[in-house]
Amino acid sequence: MANSKQSAAPSPRVRVKRLHERGHYDAETIHGILDAMPICSVGYVFNGQPYVTPTLQWREGNHMYWHGSSASRMLETVDEADVCVTVALIDGFVMARSAFHHSANYRSVMALGRARKVKDRAKKEARLKTFVDTLFPGRWDMLRPMNAQEFKATTVLSLPLSEASAKIRTGGPKDDEEDYALPIWAGVIPVTMQVGTPIDDPRNLAGVLPPDHVKTLRLG
């Protein structure tokens, strides 16, 4: 990332302290990581105990969203509560000449703030449509429409991205200068997320083929 893109940390709480040169605070970088990786971890406090729930997130503008059953403990607990949501992607293992300098290449985002339920029915529908169509463009309108009972059973949470930071490592190992003389293999082992060939449901009707949006999914 160009330094010119880096703005200041929006708060001391999300400022990247360890290895601060890996920190980024601009919306383009933060949005790019959220858009590349739907799995997130929602951290919250319940009876004084920290909990982390893995779930899927999506982004619309400068908010991130996640959803689940209206009966979920996590979703009830985090409404109007302080949360920490992180997204992390591993891009490679960085192999150095000493154990100490081994590392990983990664892209991560941490967002802090108060989560809130999307209560308005039209807004909830719009957010869920974005969730489906972000991953699978055009799919929402191909589906059997969502009914009132399903809307009621589904809770959508929102979090503004006003207090967020990204942390990124790229590139090869950085060894101690004297270790470069050692005959030890060093380098990077890349890691990517791979989308496989779609598997038809055995109950698909004859002649129903996978739409384009099933074949174009990319992650990472």
* Interface positions, 50-109, toward its own copies (CB under 8 A): 50-54, 56, 68-69, 71-73, 82-86, 88, 90, 92-93, 95-100, 102, 104, 106, 108
* Pair 128, 57: CB distance under 8 Å: no
Contact call for residue 11 and its own copies (CB under 8 A): no
Distance CA 95, CA 104 (A): 8
- Nearest Cα neighbor of 150 from 69, 219, 209 is 69
Contact call for residue 203 and its own copies (CB under 8 A): yes
Q: Nearer to its own copies by C-beta: 25 or 115? A: 115
Min separation Cβ 28 and its own copies, Å: 21
3-class DSSP state of 46: strand
* Pair 137, 180: CB distance under 8 Å: no
Which range binds its own copies by CB under 8 A, 4-12, 22-30, 57-65, 135-143? 135-143
Contact partners, residue 26, CB within 8 Å, separation at least 6: 1, 5, 6, 7
Exactly one of 25, 44, 58, 65 binds its own copies (CB under 8 A); which one? Answer: 44
Distance CA 2, CA 146 (A): 44
Contact call for residue 135 and its own copies (CB under 8 A): yes
Contact call for residue 27 and its own copies (CB under 8 A): no
Which range binds its own copies by CB under 8 A, 2-10, 21-29, 116-124, 168-176? 168-176
* Pair 29, 5: CB distance under 8 Å: yes
Contact call for residue 12 and its own copies (CB under 8 A): no
Exactly one of 22, 130, 140, 169 binds its own copies (CB under 8 A); which one? Answer: 140
Residue linked to tokens 């300098």? 101
Exactly one of 6, 41, 130, 158 binds its own copies (CB under 8 A); which one? Answer: 41
Contact call for residue 208 and its own copies (CB under 8 A): yes
Q: Nearer to its own copies by C-beta: 32 or 92? A: 92
Contact partners, residue 140, CB within 8 Å, separation at least 6: 128, 129, 132, 133
Distance CA 44, CA 53 (A): 9
Dihedral class, residue 199 (left if φ above 0, else alpha if ψ from -120 to 50, else beta): beta
Exactly one of 3, 8, 80, 202 binds its own copies (CB under 8 A); which one? Answer: 202
Contact call for residue 194 and its own copies (CB under 8 A): yes
Contact call for residue 36 and its own copies (CB under 8 A): no
